[in-house]
């Protein structure tokens, strides 16, 4: 269950209450008149089964509550209530599969900010990846994957394409383009510095690297892994299964590919540099496509369940 706190202006409060009462997924509806002062209005509280939240938020936004009032949503850790159980059973679908579109849109939108912190994480991750690539250290490659923040903009890009949010799409593309460009440029300088200090050399990169040379040798499986990672990543975000996201971060070679491209460019290893950049593009495209496909399937499925629930209520079967 999730908890909604709504500040409803006087001209909309009756419509808000009617909307909540007509929704089978709501319970514990409370109205406190004139409780809010900025913005002014009545405070309306209710609990909603997670699988019904997105539909309810759509209805409230169509009323225009967000313009003159506000809507906030919080998770409920524990709720002991038979009424809440009935609301959960009446809501279409299953809580574990429910997608709150407004939630993932807001969460991913925050990841598109091209901030100094984002650029720092991108650069640090790529530099760690560079050391891992040169010295054939898979542990450092995994560390670079986890540190890299690039999955946030990729997820936002997928959401933006499915929900057709042009601003989100533009911000995501900009964050990825500038982020990787800055990270690669800094890593090139980092490589030259370590070379000048005799801590690494072109020979280290060009020798046999059986554990990490896959990074600059793209193949069909690179696309498959990226596509599957996109599916798993968006599922973890959209269904609040955040534990699975760590596995996604260490399954794709975006940051390591950028690192390999940077080191290879610094050392004039054209074949490796081109191969790594191709690997990077393949993974970025595959992850985005996997995420888009996942969100489309979820949206179609959720709309179908909602339509079935409405039909069932009209027929008196729910």
Percentage of the chain exceeding pLDDT 70: 89
Find where tokens 């290879």 sit: 264
Whether residue 260 is predicted with pLDDT greater than 80 in this model: the reply is yes
Query: Average pLDDT for residues 143-156, to the nearest whole number?
Result: 88
pLDDT, position 188: 97
Mean pLDDT of all residues in 86-113: 76
What is the model's pLDDT at position 280? 94
CB atoms closer than 10 angstroms to residue 188: 19
Does pLDDT of 17 surpass 70?
yes
As a whole number of angstroms, the distance between CA 255 and CA 277 comes to: 11
Strands 70-75 and 2-8: antiparallel
Tokens of 201: 């050399």
DSSP 8-state secondary structure symbol assigned to residue 28:
E
* pLDDT exceeds 80 at position 308: no
Q: How confident is the model at residue 246 (pLDDT cuts 50, 70, 90)?
A: low
DSSP state of 69: S
Confidence class for position 33, pLDDT limits 50, 70, 90: very high
List pLDDT tens digits, range 150-209: 888 998 999 999 988 899 999 999 999 999 999 999 999 999 999 999 999 999 888 888
The overall average pLDDT reported for the chain is: 87
**Which residues partner with 42 through β-bridges?**
8
SS3 content of the chain, % helix, strand, coil (to 5): 70, 10, 20
* Average pLDDT of span 257-277: 94
Full-model pTM: 0.80
What is the dihedral sign for C-alpha 96, 97, 100, 104?
positive
Note the pLDDT of residue 271: 92
Query: Which tens digits make up the pLDDT trace of 54-75?
Result: 889 989 999 999 999 999 999 8
What local confidence, expressed as pLDDT, does residue 36 receive?
92
As a whole-number percent, the residues of the chain with pLDDT over 90 amount to 52
Confidence band (pLDDT; 50, 70, 90) for 250? low
Please, what is the angle between helix 220-238 and helix 270-315, to 10°? Answer: 40
pLDDT in tens, 206-243: 888 888 888 888 888 889 988 998 888 888 877 765 55
Considering only residues 316 and 17, tell me which one the structure prediction assigns the higher pLDDT: 17
Gyration radius (Cα) of the chain, Å: 24
Q: Residue 99 has what DSSP assignment?
A: -
Q: For residues 92 and 293, what is the distance between their CA atoms, to the nearest angstrom?
A: 22
* pLDDT band, residue 131 (cuts 50/70/90): very high
Confidence of residue 117 (pLDDT cuts 50, 70, 90): very high
Residue 316's pLDDT is what?
52
Q: How confident is the model at residue 248 (pLDDT cuts 50, 70, 90)?
A: low
Token duo for residue 46:
């209710």
Helical packing angle, 151-163 and 101-110, nearest 10°: 140
Average pLDDT over residues 300-309: 68
In terms of Cβ atoms closer than 10 Å to its own Cβ (0-12, 13-18, 19+), residue 284 is buried
Eight-state DSSP code of residue 215: G
pLDDT exceeds cutoff 60 at 245: no
Q: What is the pLDDT of residue 54?
A: 85
* Beta partners for residue 41, in sequence order: 36
């Amino acid at each position: 269950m999730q908890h909604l706190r709504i500040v409803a202006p006087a001209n909309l409060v009756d419509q808000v209450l009617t909307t909540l009462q007509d929704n089978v997924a709501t319970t514990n509806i409370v109205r406190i008149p004139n409780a809010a002062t900025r913005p002014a209005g009545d405070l309306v509280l209710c609990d909603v089964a997670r699988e019904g939240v997105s539909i309810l938020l759509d209805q409230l936004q169509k009323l225009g509550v967000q313009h003159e009032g506000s809507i906030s949503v919080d998770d409920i850790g524990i709720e002991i209530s038979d009424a809440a159980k009935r609301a959960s059973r009446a809501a279409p679908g299953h809580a574990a599969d429910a997608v709150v579109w407004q939630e993932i849109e807001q969460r991913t939108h925050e990841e598109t900010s091209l901030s100094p912190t984002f650029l720092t994480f991108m650069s640090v991750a790529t530099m760690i990846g560079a050391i891992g690539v040169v010295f054939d250290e898979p542990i450092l490659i995994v560390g670079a994957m986890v540190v890299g923040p690039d999955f946030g903009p990729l997820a936002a890009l997928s959401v933006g394409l499915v929900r057709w949010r042009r601003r989100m799409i533009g911000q995501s593309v900009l964050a990825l383009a500038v982020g990787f460009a800055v990270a690669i440029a800094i890593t090139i300088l980092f490589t030259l510095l370590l070379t000048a200090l005799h801590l690494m050399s072109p020979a280290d990169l060009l020798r046999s690297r059986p554990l990490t040379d896959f990074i600059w040798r793209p193949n069909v499986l690179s696309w498959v892994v990226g596509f599957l990672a996109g599916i798993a990543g968006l599922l973890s975000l959209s269904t609040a299964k955040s534990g699975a996201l760590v596995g996604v971060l260490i399954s794709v070679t975006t940051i390591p590919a950028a690192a390999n491209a940077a080191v290879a460019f610094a050392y004039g290893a054209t074949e490796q540099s081109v191969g790594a950049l191709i690997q990077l593009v393949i993974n970025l495209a595959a992850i985005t496509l996997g995420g888009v496909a996942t969100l489309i399937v979820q949206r179609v499925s959720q709309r179908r369940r909602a339509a079935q629930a409405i039909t069932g209520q009209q027929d008196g079967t729910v």
